[in-house]
Amino acid sequence: MGWAGVMENRVSAAEARQPSHPLSVPTVSESPRHDADKTCDGKAVGFVLVHAGAGYHSESKAKEYKQVCKRACQRAVEKLKAGAMAVEAVTAALVELEDSPFTNAGMGSNLNLLGEIECDASIMDGKSLHFGAVGALSGIKNPVMVANRLLQEAQKGKLSAGRIPPCFLVGRGAYHWAVHHGIPPCPSDKMATKFSLSAFKRNKRKMELAEKVETENKQTKKRRQSTGNQENDSGSLDTVGAIVVDREGNVAAAVSSGGLAMKHPGRVGQAAHYGCGCWAENAWNLNPYSTAVSTSGCGEHLIRTVLARECSAAMQSEDAHQALLETMQNKFISSPFLASEDCVLGGVIVLRCCKCVESRPPQDIQALLVEFLWSHTTESMCVGYMSAQDGKAKTHISRLPPGAVAGQSLAIEGGVCRLGSPVD
């Protein structure tokens, strides 16, 4: 049985509905076009979309950001080509993202107020709908591995004496559970990098100076903080994530983060919260599409809007692009749950897929149609995507248009991937 795949980027711009408070909402419509038509072996089918965070990506480090996204895509596709399910492939992508010193996840994560690394991560399987997560986890190199193991253990059923297995663990409890289940520990000092340590020292000095600022200068300090991300943490870009569809049409999503720089010890961001960091759900009776979502940005904003699940639900609409645009505008930027916020920061990657039969004489083709999108209100968002038919991944740093205000404007782009096989 031969497989063929066609991928095409579809990028369009649309004006978003104006929110209740005056915000400008321009959209970006700039993206490379990708067309491919390849024939591969029967196992080589599937698709992966990853992100290296929604935040600010400096031009000087653009190559590094794109390279880590490319490697993450390749790791996932290697698993898919070997016949792995979506959950295994999305975990492989996240491990690659966590291992990069350029991302704020796993190795090189932001340090908290005490100079310690505490990580959050979660994963969701669209087929079983099981979920695994860890929060404020220290001493483990790849938090997503613990989240995935929690998911796997939960799928085995109840524990002794009828106890319900955990799906979300935090702190020392999460660490001891991970070690007990064979996940090797990693000293926290080995997880910090020269960059994360220097950023901690720089941020600590700024905090000490800020505490001396008089009350009448608070507004000036607020403006400085809202625009300071570019010079302050240009390499620590919040959450990373991935979404995958496998050869059977199963979807999975995962997310991992070191959290905010100088956060309070014990703080848990959206990367570990159910429905906030990631979401994956196979098609069923009332939902014609399988959907997967991974988010990034200000954890508190994403938690209060449950953005991952909101985006997933929106993908059941007829027009995916318009549905995501309206969700980002109405359920995020102008959400009543964030009415007190004047700068709403976040980004998402989403996909939806469905199976259909296309008539292509002399033989019908059973196709898997994958629509994928990304959107962000931050200055930029770095993404990478790849189908199992591609020789290499495509990467792109999406940016707000000139003059757009981060936290008050949004960008949205995406494409379509068709995968198919002859019907026997």
pLDDT confidence band for 37 (50 / 70 / 90): very low
What distance in Å separates the CA atoms of residue 274 and residue 268, rounded to the nearest whole number?
12
Q: Which residue has the higher pLDDT, 367 or 318?
A: 318
Please state the rounded mean pLDDT for residues 320-348.
Answer: 97
pLDDT at 189 over 90: no
Q: What is the pLDDT of residue 228?
A: 42
Mind listing the pLDDT tens digit for each residue in 76-116?
999 999 999 999 999 999 999 999 998 999 999 999 999 99
Of 58-72, 153-167, 226-240, 358-372, highest mean pLDDT: 153-167
Please state the rounded mean pLDDT for residues 108-136.
Answer: 96
What distance in Å separates the CA atoms of residue 217 and residue 220, rounded to the nearest whole number?
5
Q: Which range (11-25, 83-97, 150-164, 204-218) has the least confidence?
A: 11-25
Residue with tokens 């399987």: 125
Please state the rounded mean pLDDT for residues 6-31.
Answer: 36
In SS3 terms, the chain reads as CCEEEEEEECCCCCCCCCCCCCCCCCCCCCCCCCCEEEEECCCCCCEEEEEEEEECCCHHHHHHHHHHHHHHHHHHHHHHHCCCCHHHHHHHHHHHHHHCCCCCCCCCCCCCCCCCCCEEEEEEECCCCCEEEEEEECCECCHHHHHHHHHHHHHCCCCHHHCCCCCEEEHHHHHHHHHHCCCCECCHHHHCCHHHHHHHHHHHHHHHHHCCCCHHHHHHHHHHHHHCHHHHCCCCCCCEEEEEECCCCCEEEEEEECCCCCCCCCCCCHHHCCCCCEEEECCECCECCEEEEEEEECHHHHHHHCHHHHHHHHCCCCCHHHHHHHHHHHHHHCCHHHCCCCCCCEEEEEEEEEEEEEEECCEEEEEEEEEEEEEECCCEEEEEEEECCCCCCEEEEEECCCCCCCCCCCEEEEEEEEEEEECC
pLDDT confidence band for 118 (50 / 70 / 90): very high
Q: Which residue has the higher pLDDT, 70 or 25?
A: 70
What distance in Å separates the CA atoms of residue 257 and residue 103, rounded to the nearest whole number?
9
Please state the rounded mean pLDDT for residues 344-371.
Answer: 85
Among this protein's residues, is 239 annotated catalytic?
Answer: yes
pLDDT at 372 over 80: yes
- What does pTM read for this prediction? 0.87
pLDDT at 20 over 60: no
Q: What is the pLDDT of residue 230?
A: 40
pLDDT confidence band for 226 (50 / 70 / 90): very low
User: Please, what sign has the CA dihedral across residues 251, 11, 39, 93?
Assistant: negative
Structure tokens at 396: 């792109």
Q: What is the pLDDT of residue 58?
A: 84
pLDDT at 274 over 60: yes
Q: What is the pLDDT of residue 209?
A: 86
Please state the rounded mean pLDDT for residues 134-139.
Answer: 97
Q: What is the pLDDT of residue 13?
A: 31
pLDDT confidence band for 419 (50 / 70 / 90): confident
Angle between helices 171-180 and 143-155 (to 10 degrees): 70
Which percentage of the chain shows pLDDT scores above 70? 81
Q: Spot the catalytic one: 239, 295, 378, 395.
A: 239
Please state the rounded mean pLDDT for residues 380-404.
Answer: 96
Cα-Cα end-to-end distance for the chain: 9
Integer-rounded Cα radius of gyration of the chain: 21
Please state the rounded mean pLDDT for residues 238-262.
Answer: 94
Q: What is the pLDDT of residue 362?
A: 67
Please state the rounded mean pLDDT for residues 18-45.
Answer: 40
pLDDT at 11 over 70: no
**Residue among 200, 332, 323 nearest 270 (CA):** 332
Q: What is the pLDDT of residue 407?
A: 96
> Checking phi first, is residue 46 left (phi over 0); if not, alpha (psi -120 to 50) or beta?
left
